[in-house]
Copies of this chain bind each other. A is one copy, B any other.
Amino acid sequence: MTTKNAFYAQSGGVTSVINASACGLIQTARLHSDKIGTVYAGLNGIIGALQEELIDTSFESDEAIAALRYTPAGAFGSCRYKLKSLDANRAEYERLIDVFKAHNIGYFFYNGGGDSQDTAHKVSQLGEQMGYPLTCIGVPKTVDNDLPITDNCAGFGSVAKYVAVSMREASFDVASMCATSTKVFVMEVMGRHAGWIAAAGALAADENHDIPLVILFPEIEFNESKFLAAVDEKVKSYGYCCVVVSEGVKNSEGQFLAEAGGKDAFGHAQLGGAAPVIANLIKQSLGYKYHWAVADYLQRAARHIASKNDVEQAFAVGKAAVEFALAGKNAVMPTIVRLSDAPYQWKIDSVDLKDVANVEKMMPSEFISENGFGITPACRAYLQPLIAGEDYPPYKNGLPDYVVLKKCVVAKKLPEFKV
């Protein structure tokens, strides 16, 4: 087996553990330097490959690579850039192959969601057609937990933990104040299509913490009167109510609540913010004092409260990607297979990229409670292990001591390419 270099890129919205996958991948590659030479990383994702901006990760110390395990977001930069279909823009795929050739890259590791798995799959096909065989391995990543086949996605467990912890804490706050002040607290969470993150909010309550929660899933069309009745019932019985609203909730006209046409103080279209819309609706209809929060990036960057299981799985899929490549697998993605709920046991397997690409996994209906505002015991059993365990980063001066890489970009060998 001749030595080939590797290319690794982070794709799409980052997570608090995508760098843990990078850590697993680079550390494992370093153990096999007889087969994998330099690991290059795309500066800002796949755009780095197209523009031949390749970070030479061998300039990063072992300590820096180890620190990726506890550093959130994309240490090499990520991008939202979906390659078009092969027919529509074959030139982009050919450029990728040219860059890989120029830098003796034989391994392509693409760390992202459904779109990225699709890209990795196409690149593997094209490499073959162009007589430049490439080993293409997808590395799953998404806070949305919407990839098929794998039991869950690296990145989801930590955002789920953040949402569950935050909602439990906020519910304690509201419970303290509700006698004379705030009665409804609304928290908006991510998940434009799938309600997995919203579902995690329901974990705030358990057998020792009886917290009145109403969850709004993007899978369920928003029904104003039914929702208001549910909130009112909780306030009347508990004195307060906590609402988790997914950013993806739509009204009966199919519009996102967050984009249904409001104007801000400057007269500009109000962009984003399902939580204030829901909170105002409650105030106007039920008269309850409210507070609302929009966690936004805080939730997916919250490495300080990452799930230990999630960190371990993120590391494991990165490591497995290299091991699969070295074992001769191609056009596959590591998957997480659940062996048992309690005790939670899992292993890594693999799936062909063609079976993953462009399939979105929504919350199954048997995970949403009958009234549409909560989760079922089956959903709880599924979610619970994914948020389990803590994995704290090291701190310095009261703050997480996250690493910033050197990101040394190697000299270009090819003409410029316009993206």
Task: Point out residues on A near B: beta carbons under 8 Å.
Answer: 10, 13-14, 16, 44-45, 47, 71-75, 77-81, 161, 164-166, 168-170, 172-177, 179-182, 185, 187, 203-204, 206, 208-209, 257, 260-266, 268-273, 275-277, 279-281, 283-284, 291-298, 300-305, 307, 384-385, 387-390, 392, 395-402, 404
Shortest C-beta distance, A277 to chain B (Å), equals 5
Assess whether A177 is in contact with B74, with CB atoms less than 8 Å apart: yes
A sample of 20 inter-chain contacts (CB < 8 A) reads: A13-B177, A44-B180, A72-B172, A77-B176, A80-B181, A161-B399, A165-B304, A169-B302, A169-B402, A182-B297, A204-B399, A208-B404, A209-B402, A209-B404, A261-B265, A264-B276, A264-B277, A265-B277, A266-B280, A305-B305
Consensus secondary structure, chain A interface: mixed
Shortest C-beta distance, A167 to chain B (Å), equals 9
B residues less than 8 Å from A302 (CB atoms): 166, 169
Assess whether B293 is in contact with A298, with CB atoms less than 8 Å apart: yes
Per a CB cutoff under 8 Å, which of B45, B209, B262 touches A270? B262
Q: When A14-B173, A73-B172 are in contact, do A296 and B292 touch as well, CB less than 8 Å?
A: yes
Assess whether B404 is in contact with A397, with CB atoms less than 8 Å apart: no
Assess whether B398 is in contact with A301, with CB atoms less than 8 Å apart: no
Assess whether A78 is in contact with B176, with CB atoms less than 8 Å apart: yes
Shortest C-beta distance, A169 to chain B (Å), equals 4
Assess whether A177 is in contact with B14, with CB atoms less than 8 Å apart: yes
Shortest C-beta distance, A38 to chain B (Å), equals 22
Assess whether B268 is in contact with A260, with CB atoms less than 8 Å apart: no
Assess whether A175 is in contact with B307, with CB atoms less than 8 Å apart: no
Shortest C-beta distance, A43 to chain B (Å), equals 8
Shortest C-beta distance, A42 to chain B (Å), equals 11
Assess whether B390 is in contact with A395, with CB atoms less than 8 Å apart: yes
Known A-B contacts: A266-B277, A270-B276, A292-B296. Give 17 more (CB < 8 A).
A71-B172, A72-B169, A73-B175, A73-B176, A77-B177, A80-B177, A161-B398, A164-B398, A169-B303, A170-B301, A260-B265, A262-B270, A263-B263, A264-B280, A266-B284, A268-B284, A298-B298
B residues less than 8 Å from A72 (CB atoms): 169, 172-173
Assess whether A390 is in contact with B389, with CB atoms less than 8 Å apart: no
CB-based closest 9 A-B pairs: A74-B176, A260-B265, A387-B398, A73-B172, A169-B301, A293-B296, A44-B179, A388-B398, A262-B265
Assess whether B206 is in contact with A397, with CB atoms less than 8 Å apart: yes
B residues less than 8 Å from A399 (CB atoms): 161, 164-165, 168, 203-204, 206, 387
B residues less than 8 Å from A298 (CB atoms): 166, 169-170, 187, 293, 295, 298
Shortest C-beta distance, A30 to chain B (Å), equals 23
B residues less than 8 Å from A14 (CB atoms): 173, 176-177
In whole angstroms, what is the CA distance A81 to B179 when docked? 11
Q: When A264-B262, A276-B273, A301-B169 are in contact, do A398 and B206 touch as well, CB less than 8 Å?
A: no
In whole angstroms, what is the CA distance A161 to B161 when docked? 19
B residues less than 8 Å from A262 (CB atoms): 262-266, 270
Closest residue on chain B to residue A53 by CB atoms: B179
Assess whether B276 is in contact with A292, with CB atoms less than 8 Å apart: no
